[in-house]
Chain A
Amino acid sequence: MDIKLKKELMTVATNIRKSIIVGTYNAKSGHPGGSLSISDLLAYLYFVEMNVDAKNPKCEDRDRLVLSKGHAAPALYGVLAEKGFFPKEDIATLRKSDSYLQGHPNMTSVPGVDMSTGSLGQGISAACGMALGSKINGDKFRVYTILGDGELQEGQVWEAAMFAAAKKLDTLVAVVDNNNLQIDGTVEEVNSPYPIDEKFAAFGWNVINIDGHDFDEIEAAFEKARQTKGKPTAIIAKTVKGKGVSFMENQVGWHGTAPKGEEYEQAIKELDEFLANI
């Protein structure tokens, strides 16, 4: 990847991470860990891969993103704000009773949100429905969905996986945020979904394994997905839960806990330092 673009994406991703910290800190609740782990992926999707227009968020031909792991809403709101769908200062209203920024994505209140999600396992089905709609209209747009690795424990994911392959939904890309942690522990401890790649392959998907924080690998994966015809693509992205904030990285406790006082200041300081060194 071009170094200028890479630096731009690193900046966007770090700004998303800052907004995750600002949002959850002000809300005194929310899910920073699994939001931080998908920030690089969202930066690439919204700033390179997807055809979207902040001025026309409901445009019929736009590409869609369904955040099936809806608890990572702070990351989605972060990238949408970076892209100009709504003012960045609104991030501080996350989860407040007078805010449109609901705890989990709500397509009827948040500009740029393509599907209301939050209950795990359901988003991928809606994404399949959108991809079917795209196919009926001659592959009019592409559909992206991001799932958690713990989310793969929901049976509905595999109902959808079967459907997508059976109906040859090749405009569909499912990204698995494989940060290896869920609320009760590591995914292996709780109920192992591994091997994730082989499972999707067995369901008839085109499967690509990548480092979910490496923009070169992210770019190559989405390009390969675009070239794949006749089957949907699953990108299994190895990620670090809490990525970018040292004390949150790989810590299960930061799944659904907001940073307080000094933690907030420390996190912002680290992210600002990272920004300064890009």
Chain B
Amino acid sequence: MADIIKTATRDAYGKALVELGDKYSNIRVLDADLAAATKTGMFKKAHPDKFYDCGIAESNMMGIAAGLSTAGFVVFASSFAMFAAGRAFEQVRNTICYPHLNVKIGATHAGISVGEDGASHQCCEDIALMRSIPNMTIINPADDIEAHAAVFAAYEMNGPCYMRFGRLAVPRLFDENYKFEIGKGVYLKEGTDVTIIATGLLVGPALEAAEALNNEGISAAVINMATIKPIDRDIIVDAANKTGCIVTAEEHNIIGGLGSAVAEVVCETKPVPVVRLGVNDEFGKSGPALELLDIFGLNAKGVIEKAKAAISLK
């Protein structure tokens, strides 16, 4: 296991944008003075004539993206999750989603794993915000392979899409043959006692947790839920039927994110215990990313505890 490849999903975003720029003439990329950090700088270097820096003005950037999209372009607007979904929330709602425009939002630096910058920049509310807007599609990829595929899928679909990327380098989970489809959850492991539905950075720890649980004689299934909206209802119902309890795991507030989305489906279809692992409705803080993930319990140990709690509720 010494050769595990670790890449931040934001790097895959930048790389995929460059390839889209090579392939299609109608792509345009916007940033708000964070091109080096969001990795759109890679695109800027490769396709300087297709890149526009809007400066530190995210609200205006979303409007520019909307207007530009009406002139026949597929526009990727990029910033940190905090500013893309937070500061520019209403512009995304009213000027992009309400008219169903073909704008893709590349939101990097999501979640606690931003690290040392601290709470002001650690957005754990973006999924909740974006999920509540009609017409919005939300993708939260788990590794660089999935992130790369998600960017291409976002280009190919028509309408608004919010892509959530991380700052932290994360282990590669999938190989080049991985097929990504918007709206489809995927079983990474079958099991009979509990299903762990994880998204983004928590998919790796979910797999680790399943292995550890297996060693204790607990059979845990793992689902990777990259698309938060539209949520894959079928796979959630299937999991509820098969294992009778569910754990959700995400690097996001437990309010309004994957956990909420799964619980909503379970309540309305096949009520079984759902236990949510996430940020417990509190702000983050400064520190190295990996340390913070441990402090907030967003690791395999956290998943294992929640899995046992879910089983005990059956």
**B51-70 Cβ-contact flags toward A at 8 Å (1 or 0):** 01011010111111111111
**Which of B61, B66, B67, B75 has the largest number of chain A CB atoms within 10 A?**
B67
Given contacts A129-B64, A159-B60, A162-B57, contact A115 B99 (CB under 8 A): yes
Q: Is the CB of B99 within 8 A of A129?
A: no
Asked if B195 is an interface residue, CB under 8 A from chain A, the answer is no
**Closest Cβ–Cβ distance, residue B110 to chain A (whole Å):** 24
Taking residues whose C-beta sits less than 8 angstroms from the other chain, chain B's interface range is: 20 to 34
Complex CA gap A107/B75 in Å reads 19
Complex CA gap A119/B98 in Å reads 12
Complex CA gap A206/B75 in Å reads 29
* Stretch of A130-138, A244-252, A256-264 contacting B (4+ beta carbons < 8 Å): A130-138
Complex CA gap A126/B62 in Å reads 8
Taking CB atoms, residues of chain B closer than 8 Å to A163 are 54-55, 57, 60, 64
Asked if A179 is an interface residue, CB under 8 A from chain B, the answer is no
**Which of B59, B60, B95 has the largest number of chain A CB atoms within 10 A?**
B60
Complex CA gap A124/B54 in Å reads 14
Q: Is the CB of B95 within 8 A of A116?
A: yes
Taking CB atoms, residues of chain A closer than 8 Å to B73 are 133, 136
Pick from A60, A121, A129, A167: contact of B66, CB below 8 A: A129
Taking residues whose C-beta sits less than 8 angstroms from the other chain, chain A's interface range is: 35 or more
Q: Is the CB of A126 within 8 A of B66?
A: yes
Q: Is the CB of B68 within 8 A of A130?
A: yes
Question: In residues 116-151 of chain B, which contact A (Cβ within 8 Å)?
Answer: none
Complex CA gap A246/B57 in Å reads 42
Complex CA gap A119/B92 in Å reads 12
Q: Is the CB of A126 within 8 A of B57?
A: no
Asked if B90 is an interface residue, CB under 8 A from chain A, the answer is yes
Taking CB atoms, residues of chain B closer than 8 Å to A118 are 94
Given contacts A122-B94, A133-B72, contact A156 B63 (CB under 8 A): yes
Asked if A125 is an interface residue, CB under 8 A from chain B, the answer is yes
**Closest Cβ–Cβ distance, residue B74 to chain A (whole Å):** 12
Q: Is the CB of A116 within 8 A of B67?
A: no
Asked if A13 is an interface residue, CB under 8 A from chain B, the answer is no
**Which of A114, A129, A166 has the largest number of chain B CB atoms within 10 A?**
A129
Asked if A106 is an interface residue, CB under 8 A from chain B, the answer is yes
Q: Which residue of A lies closest to B100 (CB)?
A: A108
Q: Which residue of A lies closest to B63 (CB)?
A: A125
Q: Which residue of B lies closest to A157 (CB)?
A: B60
Pick from B28, B62, B71, B98: contact of A125, CB below 8 A: B62
Taking CB atoms, residues of chain B closer than 8 Å to A64 are 70
Asked if A127 is an interface residue, CB under 8 A from chain B, the answer is yes
Asked if A52 is an interface residue, CB under 8 A from chain B, the answer is no
Q: Which residue of B lies closest to A125 (CB)?
A: B63
Q: Which residue of B lies closest to A131 (CB)?
A: B67
Asked if A160 is an interface residue, CB under 8 A from chain B, the answer is yes
**Closest Cβ–Cβ distance, residue B253 to chain A (whole Å):** 26
Asked if A128 is an interface residue, CB under 8 A from chain B, the answer is yes
Asked if B91 is an interface residue, CB under 8 A from chain A, the answer is yes
Complex CA gap A116/B73 in Å reads 18
**Which of B65, B66, B72 has the largest number of chain A CB atoms within 10 A?**
B66
Taking CB atoms, residues of chain A closer than 8 Å to B60 are 125, 128, 156, 159-160, 163
| Besides A126-B64, A156-B60, A163-B57, 8 other A-B contacts (C-beta < 8 A) | A66-B67, A115-B70, A129-B63, A129-B65, A129-B69, A130-B70, A132-B64, A163-B55
Binding site for B on A (CB under 8 A): 60, 64, 66, 106-108, 114-119, 121-134, 136-137, 155-156, 159-160, 162-163, 166-167
Please, could you name 12 A-B residue pairs with CB atoms under 8 Å apart, sorted by A?
A108-B100, A123-B63, A125-B64, A125-B66, A129-B70, A129-B71, A133-B68, A133-B70, A133-B72, A162-B55, A163-B57, A163-B64
Q: What are the 7 tightest A-B residue pairs by CB atom distance, in nearest-first order?
A: A129-B67, A125-B63, A133-B71, A159-B60, A159-B57, A126-B67, A129-B64
